[in-house]
Amino acid sequence: MKTLAGCLAIASIIAVAGIAAAHDMSAMDMHGDVPSSSPNGMSGSEMMMDVHMKMTAPRPASQADQERAAYVMESCRRALLPYRNYHVALAQAFRVFLPQIPQPVYHFTNYTWSGAEYRGEFNLDHPGSVLYVKGDSGDYELVGAMYSAPADYSEDQLNDLIPLSVARWHQHVNICLPAGISIDDLLMGEVGAGHPGMPGMLPVVNNPSAETINQKVGFLADGRFGFEGKIADRTACEAAGGHFVPLAFGWMVHVYPLGTDDMKVAFGLSVPKPPSN
């Protein structure tokens, strides 16, 4: 079983993932639908700061910030053009983070570019992750990108990348995972679904749907564990048979520049609808 240190090593070498990637597991509903609210900061598709999310403090706006933000939007919009068809992203070494789990936004992560971001090599032309939502047809529809930065960056350093007066960078914190599952495993798409009876799974007695849910989402089934889990402190985590992860990955920020020049939308906390064209 891998450790968080091992995960961060992978991130810096091959690019972590996707998520920077972890990606945000915000507002997942393990029963198949996106909930109207979630314990980790999403109301519908809105992220807010809570026990599992640390966010940068907003700063006063300036004209220089507005100009830099406009440049970020245009650069990001240009970088996203090749990926309107998600098959292109897959063909260019982007991988989907936990595609079997219903999510308000899906992160397709390029390990090489994501790893560079975690090493402090910020490049607007190569976002570590591109973001999609599921359309009515079931296909992925492009909505934006996610950029990442090292976990130890100060807010001043983040502000130098994308102004904090227009964007809120965030980190995933206080995560409880069951024994036998590491963050590295999540990056590989492993949620323990093939190991019946592990912590976090639903009891199958008198619950005919539990086995099917367990086989699909593993330890995420009952909501105690994971990035949206009810458990958010070390004592409760260990009492539930889990191991506590104070910080998962580094800093992250979403940018939604498609079909809009409104900075409140492009750097907002809500996942927008895909542009019509």
5 CB-near residues (< 8 Å, 6+ apart): none
- Residue 41 has a pLDDT of 32
What's the pLDDT at 7?
A: 36
Number of folded domains that form the chain: 1
What is the model's pLDDT at position 9? 32
Distance of alpha carbon 36 from the chain centroid: 18
Higher pLDDT among residues 76 and 180, named by residue: 76
Mean of pLDDT values over 251-275: 93
* Residue 86 counted as domain residue: yes
Q: What is the mean pLDDT of the chain?
A: 82
186 domain residue, yes or no: no
30-61 pLDDT, tens digit per residue, is 333 333 333 233 333 333 348 999 999 999 99
Q: Is 239 exposed, middle or buried (0-12, 13-18, 19+ CB in 10 A)?
A: exposed
For 64-100, what is each residue's pLDDT tens digit?
A: 999 999 999 999 999 999 999 999 999 999 999 888 8
Q: Encode pLDDT of 95-132 as tens digits.
A: 998 888 888 999 999 989 999 999 999 999 999 999 99
- Of residues 1 and 147, more confidence is placed in 147
pTM above 0.85, yes or no: no
pLDDT of 4 strictly over 80:
no
Domain range holding 131?
4-172+250-266
For residue 210, tell me if it sits in a domain. no
The three-point CA angle 163-169-175 to 5° equals 170
pLDDT above 50 for 21: no
Q: Percent of the chain beyond pLDDT 90? A: 56
**254 falls within a domain:** yes
In a domain, residue 119? The reply is yes
pLDDT band per the 50, 70, 90 thresholds, residue 215: confident
- Residue 212 covered by a domain: no
Kindly give, in sequence order, each residue whose CB lies less than 8 Å from that of residue 237, ignoring residues fewer than 6 positions away: 176, 231, 243, 244
Burial class (CB in 10 A: 0-12, 13-18, 19+), 99: middle
**229 lies in some domain:** no
**Would you place residue 136 in the very low, low, confident or very high pLDDT band (cuts 50, 70, 90)?**
confident
> By the 8 A CB rule, do 217 and 192 touch?
no
Q: What mean pLDDT comes out for the span 1-22?
A: 34
**What's the pLDDT at 26?**
39
- Percentage of the residues of the chain whose pLDDT score is greater than 70: 82
Alpha-carbon distance 23 to 223, whole Å? 18
**Which tops the pLDDT comparison, 204 or 44?**
204
- The model's pLDDT over 236-262, given as tens digits with 9 standing for 90+, comes to 999 999 999 999 889 999 999 999 999
Q: What is the pLDDT of residue 277?
A: 58
